[in-house]
Amino acid sequence: MHTWSLITLDRFSLRLLGLMGKPAIDSGRVFHLVPCNAVHTFGMRFPLSVIFLDDQLRVLRMIEALVPCRVAWHWRARSVLELKAGTIPASQAQDLVASLFTGSAPDRSQC
């Protein structure tokens, strides 16, 4: 069982560069991009798992390994979770969302 660190990126300035140029992403970190309905992996060196969420935090789509130099989107998404590729299977995406959003305040200290 993972201990998750949810990092909310809810301002344009925080989302602008995101993970570009970073060497890797820690397996326990989950980045919540809000508002967001599309992501890219240009300038990245590693694949990501990407989970698109609606306004009720329901999983709309999960990509388990979005490789570098790609774009992904979902027209109904209101936010996106990014985490290390292969951390969880798609079948556990909604369980991850439920464990992350249990009344905790957004953490911006690790941005």
pLDDT of residue 25: 84
Q: What is the chain's pLDDT, residue by residue, as a tens digit (111 residues)?
A: 568 899 998 988 777 766 666 777 888 899 999 999 999 998 888 999 999 999 999 999 999 999 999 999 999 999 999 999 999 999 999 999 999 988 554 454 444
Domain-located, residue 15 = yes
- The pTM assigned to this predicted structure is 0.86
SS (H, E, C) the chain: CCCCEEEEECCHHHHCCCCCCCCCCCCCEEEEECCCCEEECCCCCCCEEEEEECCCCCEEEEEEEECCCCEEECCCCCEEEEEECCCCCHHHHHHHHHHHCCCCCCECCCC
71 within a domain of the structure (yes/no): yes
Residue 56 lies in a domain: yes
Q: Which domain holds residue 23?
A: 5-100
Residue 106 belongs to some domain of the structure? no
Residue 105 lies in a domain: no
The count of domains in the chain is 1
CATH code of the domain in which 65 resides: 2.60.120.1140
